[in-house]
């Protein structure tokens, strides 16, 4: 049948199972938005307050569902406002398709109004980016974009469509999408044999799980692998929820703000099985001393990650769900009671603690964890509250912790919470943020109230840029250059002006009743929690130090 380019975009989105897109209209993309009006009964559009909010919402939707998130923006500044969100998705391997519209083909390269080469701009931060200048290429390009976004290691793809293409007519034939096959071809038998040999010889094995476990839906296989290997498990920031944190095998997060138990156990183990991790500097510390007593076995879908940051002794390349399936079916059950007892003793010796009598970030997050019983989707911004969210909330299942890990994007949380809540309207969604981060994208509270999304946003307000100030305190002689936020901002009045219910909490006695009331409202809520500006995230490893040089407040 004959359709115009914008209708073809809609039909292709329906082919791919897309039911929701996030975006903001403008001149060059008007034809596509006109088609959205026609297809509004089948494709829901969430109008955000800013294009960056749309990209974060699409990212949050993707993380919460495992599906491809979709965002849209017009040419010029609309497209460039997506860049931070695209880069966030790229660093954390999140499947995203960003659709932008550009000026007409005849106007390209002439510095036309709102013209920009967004495909060129985003080339380093996408798996694939292209501009479409012929309507006959449109449907194949969209199908290719979704396939690339989901194949192998996921990631974002950008499609830029010239305005004349969005209005041009073309014959359209519906195509059933081919299933996305898991990467199996690279799982080699010699690699499996070598992995099994290392496993059987290990006396002190440790599992280090990364975000790839969640991306491949391999949490059940990881749990079985940990049982069969009889090993403790530590997780990266991106793997929160990949392993049930109520399981006694879980030792906490690894790295700069990891637990002492995890950092010491990785240092003492004789085999480190790294699953879906990229050995970020925030996890490894000094790579020369990382896991210095261990053989390292790395399982990952991306061969580029092998021996990139940390040298390995063996590796298996492929989808980690399939790799774990193979290993679980072929390895004998291992037994390491003395090692597990030693790790358990460390957990008792080095617990995470916080003062119970005053309001603190850890106390707020621990109370939310208690009240929700770990059954909520948590989004965060970046900084101290992000680390506390990883340390003090007990995640029971994957896709319940949504946070910007690789890029560390302040302002991510509100948009991501929108995507998560739209994806899961019956789930409790709670966004933890700091006063510095909240300023970045608080305009998306208007998006939340416009759509009556029952998101609870908790601001940990210490009136400073907390993590930067912590570094200034510890490493910069307490020279607090531009990190103090003692201004007249009233967050409660601000959010109420945008239609949300606002609360302010100053003590632990006020916290629980306020949280309970907020969650019972089933409406947009923002809770400002006033904490001390010198609260710090501990444990901590100094930049460039070995992870076993981890220290806490008591050590100081």
Chosen domain end from 315, 349, 383:
349
| Given 10, 11, 51, 444, the catalytic residue | 51
CA-to-CA distance for 524 and 173, rounded, in angstroms? 43
**pLDDT given for residue 486 in this prediction:** 87
Residues of the chain with pLDDT below 70 are none
Task: Classify residue 177: in a domain, yes or no.
Answer: no
Number of domains comprising the chain: 3
Task: Classify residue 439: in a domain, yes or no.
Answer: yes
Q: Which tokens hold the place of 111?
A: 């510095």
Together in a domain, 224 and 258: yes
| Given 15, 67, 114, 501, the catalytic residue | 114
| Given 38, 113, 338, 349, the catalytic residue | 113
**pLDDT given for residue 554 in this prediction:** 87
Dihedrals phi, psi of 310, to nearest 5 degrees: -135, 135
Q: Is 490 left (phi over 0), alpha (psi -120 to 50) or beta?
A: beta
Task: Classify residue 176: in a domain, yes or no.
Answer: no
Together in a domain, 220 and 248: yes
pLDDT tens-digit series, residues 443-489: 999 999 999 999 999 999 999 999 999 999 999 999 999 999 988 89
Together in a domain, 327 and 371: no
Long-range pairs for 291-298 at CB < 8 Å and ≥24 separation? 291/266, 291/267, 292/267, 293/267, 293/268, 293/269, 294/206, 294/266, 294/269, 294/270, 295/198, 295/202, 295/270, 295/271, 296/271, 296/272, 297/195, 297/198, 297/199, 297/271, 297/272, 297/273, 298/274
CA-to-CA distance for 158 and 19, rounded, in angstroms? 19
> b or e along 410-421 (b: 16 or more beta carbons within 10 Å of the residue's beta carbon)?
bbbbbbbbbbbb
CA-to-CA distance for 302 and 522, rounded, in angstroms? 42
Contacts of 287 (CB under 8 A, 6+ apart): 279, 281, 309, 310
51 is catalytic: yes
**pLDDT given for residue 306 in this prediction:** 97
Task: Classify residue 550: in a domain, yes or no.
Answer: no
201 is catalytic: no
3-class secondary-structure state, position 423? helix
| Given 72, 206, 253, 467, the catalytic residue | 467
CA 459 to centroid of chain Cα atoms:
19
- Quick check: pTM over 0.95? yes
Using N-to-C axis directions, what is the helix angle for 51-65 and 412-423, rounded to 10°?
50
113 is catalytic: yes
Chosen domain end from 308, 329, 349:
349
CA-to-CA distance for 460 and 479, rounded, in angstroms? 23
Together in a domain, 115 and 247: no
Together in a domain, 327 and 378: no
Number of C-beta neighbours around residue 506 at 10 A: 13
Task: Classify residue 92: in a domain, yes or no.
Answer: yes
The Cα-based distances of 450 to 18, 418, 441, 442, 526 in angstroms read 22, 11, 16, 14, 15
**pLDDT given for residue 314 in this prediction:** 98
Together in a domain, 513 and 372: yes
Task: Classify residue 556: in a domain, yes or no.
Answer: no
Task: Classify residue 179: in a domain, yes or no.
Answer: no
**pLDDT given for residue 479 in this prediction:** 97
Together in a domain, 120 and 236: no
Task: Classify residue 182: in a domain, yes or no.
Answer: no
Contacts of 165 (CB under 8 A, 6+ apart): 5, 105, 132, 133, 134, 135, 138
Together in a domain, 236 and 345: yes
The Cα-based distances of 332 to 113, 200, 404, 504 in angstroms read 66, 8, 38, 55
Q: In what order do the strands lie in the sheet with 44-47?
A: 44-47, 20-23, 69-73, 96-102, 156-162, 128-132
Please give the residue range of the domain that contains residue 162: 2-171
**pLDDT given for residue 357 in this prediction:** 92
| Given 52, 72, 115, 163, the catalytic residue | 163
Together in a domain, 318 and 382: no
Together in a domain, 373 and 479: yes
Q: Which tokens hold the place of 31?
A: 């034809």
Give the CATH number of the domain where residue 455 resides.
3.40.50.970
Chosen domain end from 136, 171, 206:
171
115 is catalytic: no
225 is catalytic: no
Together in a domain, 159 and 195: no
Give the CATH number of the domain where residue 330 resides.
3.40.50.1220
**pLDDT given for residue 82 in this prediction:** 98
Together in a domain, 144 and 203: no
């Amino acid at each position: 049948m004959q359709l115009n380019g914008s209708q073809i975009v809609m039909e292709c989105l329906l082919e791919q199972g897309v039911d929701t897109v996030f975006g903001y209209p403008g001149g060059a993309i008007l034809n596509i938005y006109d088609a959205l009006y026609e297809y509004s009964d089948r494709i829901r559009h969430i109008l955000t307050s800013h294009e960056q909010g749309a990209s974060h919402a699409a990212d949050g939707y993707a993380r919460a569902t495992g599906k491809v998130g979709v965002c849209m923006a017009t040419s010029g500044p609309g497209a460039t406002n997506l860049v931070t969100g695209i880069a966030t998705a790229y660093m954390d391997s999140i499947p995203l398709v960003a659709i932008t519209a550009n000026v007409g083909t005849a106007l390209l390269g002439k510095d036309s109004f709102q013209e920009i080469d967004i495909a060129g701009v985003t080339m380093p931060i996408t798996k694939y980016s292209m501009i479409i200048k012929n309507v006959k290429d449109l449907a194949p390009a969209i199908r290719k974009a979704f396939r690339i976004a989901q194949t192998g290691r996921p990631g974002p793809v950008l499609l830029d469509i010239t305005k004349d293409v969005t209005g041009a007519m073309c014959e359209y034939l519906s195509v059933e999408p081919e299933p996305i096959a898991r990467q199996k071809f690279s799982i080699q038998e010699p690699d499996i044999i070598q992995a099994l040999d290392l496993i059987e010889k290990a006396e002190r094995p440790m599992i280090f799980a990364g975000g790839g476990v969640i991306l491949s839906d391999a949490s059940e296989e990881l749990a079985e692998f940990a049982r069969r290997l009889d090993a403790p498990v530590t997780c990266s920031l991106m793997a929160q929820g990949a392993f049930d944190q109520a399981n006694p095998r879980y030792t906490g997060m690894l790295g700069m703000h990891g637990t002492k138990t995890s950092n010491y156990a990785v240092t003492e183990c004789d085999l480190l099985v790294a699953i879906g991790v990229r050995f970020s500097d925030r996890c490894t510390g000094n790579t020369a001393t990382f896991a210095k007593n261990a053989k390292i076995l790395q399982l990952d879908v991306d061969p580029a990650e092998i021996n990139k940051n940390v040298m390995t002794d063996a590796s298996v390349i492929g989808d980690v769900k399939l790799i774990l399936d193979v290993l679980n079916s072929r390895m004998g059950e291992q037994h390491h009671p003395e090692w597990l007892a030693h790790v358990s003793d460390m957990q008792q010796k080095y617990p995470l603690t916080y003062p119970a009598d005053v309001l603190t970030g850890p106390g707020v997050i621990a109370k939310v964890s208690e009240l929700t019983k770990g059954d909520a989707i948590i989004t965060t911004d970046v900084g101290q509250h992000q680390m506390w969210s990883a340390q003090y909330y007990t995640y029971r299942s994957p896709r319940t912790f949504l946070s910007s890990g690789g890029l560390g994007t302040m302002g991510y949380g509100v948009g991501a919470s929108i995507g998560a809540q739209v994806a899961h309207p019956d789930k409790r969604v709670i966004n933890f943020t700091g006063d510095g981060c909240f300023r970045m994208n608080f305009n998306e509270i208007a998006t939340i109230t416009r759509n009556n999304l029952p998101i609870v946003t908790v601001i940990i307000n210490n009136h400073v840029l907390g993590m930067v100030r912590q570094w200034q305190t510890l490493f910069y002689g307490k020279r607090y250059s531009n990190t103090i936020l003692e201004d007249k901002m009233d967050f409660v009045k601000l959010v109420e002006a945008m239609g949300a219910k606002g609360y302010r909490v100053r003590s632990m006695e006020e916290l629980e009743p306020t949280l309970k009331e907020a969650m019972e409202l089933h409406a947009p809520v923002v809770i400002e929690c006033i904490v001390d500006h010198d609260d710090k995230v501990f444990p901590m490893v100094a930049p460039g130090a070995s992870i076993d040089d981890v220290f806490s407040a008591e050590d100081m």
